Amino acid sequence: MRILHTADWHLGKIVNGIHMTDDQAYVLEQFFEIIERYSPDLIINAGDIYDRAIPPKEAVDLLDQTLTRLMTDYQIPMLMISGNHDSPDRLHFGSQLFRNHQLYIQSKFHLPIEPVTFTDETGPVHFYLIPYFEPADVQSYYLDQKITTHQAAMSAVIESIKENINPNERHVCIAHAFLAGGMESDSEDRLSMIGGSPYVDVNLFEAFNYAALGHLHQPQKISSDRVQYSGSLLKYSFSEASQKKSMTLIDLDQQGQVFFERIPLQPKHDLRVMTDYFDHLLSADHYQASEDYLHIQLLDDGQILDPITQLRKKFPNILRLEKVIKKSDRGLNELARVKKNQQRTELELFEDFYLEMTDEPLSEKRKQMLRTVIDHIKQQERGQ
C-alpha cells in the first residue's frame, strides 16, 4: 500500500506580519502534482490543519477548495486528525457526510478508537486516528488511574488499541504528539499541560508498522523509518530557514516493512537568512534581487542611514533587519554601554530613547514636562 503522509499545513498562518495563504495555495498545487505523479492509495494529514482555532475566511476557503478537489477529481481516501492548533468542533463539521466521499476526519478524542480499514492485494491495513488530546481528556476514561502527563495519557491510549490488534495484520497509527528526541523549531507551540511534560516516548509506537506524526515542523524520523514526522507545508519561522520541506511517501509491503521517500516542496517565496555587509548586499556581483522572505543581518560596524529603505529596493520582502555584534566584542560593548549609562541622568536616557523611536529630538517644552515628572517621582520615592 502506498501512503502519502503530510501534516502541519497551518492554513491562515501569519509570519512576521505576512499572510501566508497565497504561498500555501502555491504549495498545495504541488500536492496535487505529487498525487498525479506517485498515485498514492491514500493520504494522511496528521494535524494542525489550521494555524488557529478560529481561522480566517481565506484559510477556510483554501481548505474547502483543496478537499473538494481531492474528493471530486481524484477520489483518493484521506485520513485527517486535529492538532493542537485546530478547533475540534469546527474541524468536526460535516465529518459524517464526508466519510461517504472517503474523507475521514477525526477531530474529537474519544475511546475506544476504532480503526479505519483499507485492503490492498495482500490484505487489510488498519489505521488508528488519534487526534490531539490533553492528559485530562484521557483521565476522564481512567478514573482509577492518575494521568497527568502526555506520556501517561498516550500510553493508556495505545494500550487500549493494542488490546484488539491482530499481530498478523498491518497497523498504522496517526497522531499529533511531541516525541522525545525530535528536533523542534520556533514556530511550534510546545504541547503543554500544567505540571506535566509534553514529551512522549517513541517506544509506545512499537506495535504499529508505521506511525504518521504531526506537530514537529522538520521532516524527520524518530529512532527508525517506522516513526516519521512529515514536517510542515512551508517554513514558518527563520529557525527553519535551513530545512527542506517535503511530503513523505510511504510504501508498506505485505510483511509490513516500510520504505519511504521525501518528495520536496518548492515555495513561492523561500524563507532565508542573509548575513553580510551592507555594500555587499546591494552589489549585483554578490547578490541577485529576490522576492524571498528575508532576515538580513548586517555586519557593518558604523551607522547606516535608513538601510531598510535602500535594501527593500532590491529585496522587497525583508521581514527582519538587525545589526550583528561580533561575539568577541559583545561583552565589552555591553559593559561599556552600561558604564556610560550609569553616569547619565534619567532625562538624558529618555532623550536618547525618544530620538531612537521618533527620529526627532525632544523639544524644550517636553524636556521641562519630563523634568517635572522625574522630580515628582523622586520625591515620592523619598516619601516626601
Give the pLDDT of residue 337: 58
Domain spans of the chain, in order of start: 2-264, 271-323, 329-381
CATH of the structural domain 2-264, one choice from 3.60.21.10, 3.40.640.10, 3.40.50.1820, 2.40.50.140: 3.60.21.10
The helix (run of H) or strand (run of E) holding residue 128 is strand 123-130
Q: Could you read off the pLDDT of 249-274 as tens digits, one per residue?
A: 999 999 999 999 999 999 999 999 99
Expressed in percent and rounded to 5, the helix, strand and coil fractions of the chain are 35, 25, 45
Residues 232-252 have a mean pLDDT of 96
Measured distance CA(145)–CA(53) in Å, rounded: 30
Measured distance CA(72)–CA(32) in Å, rounded: 13
Q: Could you read off the pLDDT of 198-229 as tens digits, one per residue?
A: 899 999 999 999 999 999 999 999 999 999 99
Q: Residue 149 above 80 pLDDT?
A: yes
Give the pLDDT of residue 158: 96
Measured distance CA(293)–CA(22) in Å, rounded: 14
Q: Could you read off the pLDDT of 164-193 as tens digits, one per residue?
A: 999 999 999 999 999 988 887 777 776 765
Set of cell numbers at residue 135 = 492528559
Residues 113-120 have a mean pLDDT of 96
The residues pairing with 125 across neighbouring beta strands, listed in sequence order, are 118, 170
Q: Could you read off the pLDDT of 46-82 as tens digits, one per residue?
A: 999 999 999 999 999 999 999 999 999 999 999 999 9
Taking each helix axis from N to C terminus, what angle separates 21-38 and 57-69, rounded to the nearest 10 degrees? 10
Set of cell numbers at residue 324 = 550583528
Q: Could you read off the pLDDT of 291-332 as tens digits, one per residue?
A: 999 999 999 988 888 999 999 999 999 999 999 876 555 555
Measured distance CA(21)–CA(260) in Å, rounded: 29
Measured distance CA(188)–CA(178) in Å, rounded: 10
Q: Residue 197 above 80 pLDDT?
A: no
pTM over 0.75? The answer is yes
Sequence-distant contacts of 117-125: CB under 8 A, at least 24 apart: 118/1, 118/41, 118/42, 118/77, 120/1, 120/41, 122/253, 122/254, 123/169, 123/170, 123/254, 124/169, 124/170, 125/1, 125/169, 125/170, 125/171, 125/172, 125/252
Q: Could you read off the pLDDT of 337-381 as tens digits, one per residue?
A: 555 655 678 888 888 777 766 767 888 889 889 888 888 886 765
